[in-house]
Amino acid sequence: RWLGIQSFKHDGSIHRYWDRGLVLEDNDDFIVVASKRTKVIENNGRRWFTKEPAVTIFSKKEWWNVICMIKKDGICYYCNIASPCVVDKENIRYIDYDLDAKLFPNKDIKVLDEKEYANHLKLFGYTEDLDTVLKYQTDQILKSMKAEVFPFVDEKIFAYYESFKKQIKKD
């Protein structure tokens, strides 16, 4: 089944919307979707299409989701520090909490958007408890990236992508 993906900010405003992702796995811990040339609509109305195919893992229990972009030189992992997702019949929904971490194919790691996080911490009034959870989750994600444990396992992501390609061929 295909689902839309809705990203919100802490105040409930829409941040970004992806028009569809094909569900490859859905269990108690996470949902995995894949897409190729998906339309994205920004909160300001700007529309664009993703450039490369991607497998995205949305945690249902942890404070993250990971977009695994399939590139010519390998997989680039883009991790959003975000609320656990909620899934209904039409959409996957989550709150984006600004902090991001990126794991490049050469295994370099970069933390992104720390200034945006600091601004939104004040603007949206993140509580001290929420700030603690988000910073802890960022540390955990960085450790997982370095250790190359799920979801940062190339072989697993390539297997999901092959499954996606077979499903698309059938349809």
The first and second tokens of residue 63, run together, are 């404070």
Q: Where are the beta strands (DSSP E) in the chain?
A: 2-8, 14-26, 30-35, 39-42, 47-49, 54-59, 64-71, 74-82, 86-87, 91-103, 109-112
95, β-bridge pairs = 8
Whether 16 is a known active-site residue: answer: yes
Residues in contact with 73: Cβ distance below 8 Å, sequence separation at least 6, in sequence order = 105
Q: Which residue type sits at 111? A: V
C-beta neighbour count of 35 within 10 angstroms: 22
Catalytic residue among 1, 16, 20, 37: 16
* Helix or strand holding residue 120 (H, E): helix 114-123
DSSP reduced 3-state for 131: helix
**Residues 66, 79 contacting (CB under 8 angstroms):** yes
Active site residues: 16
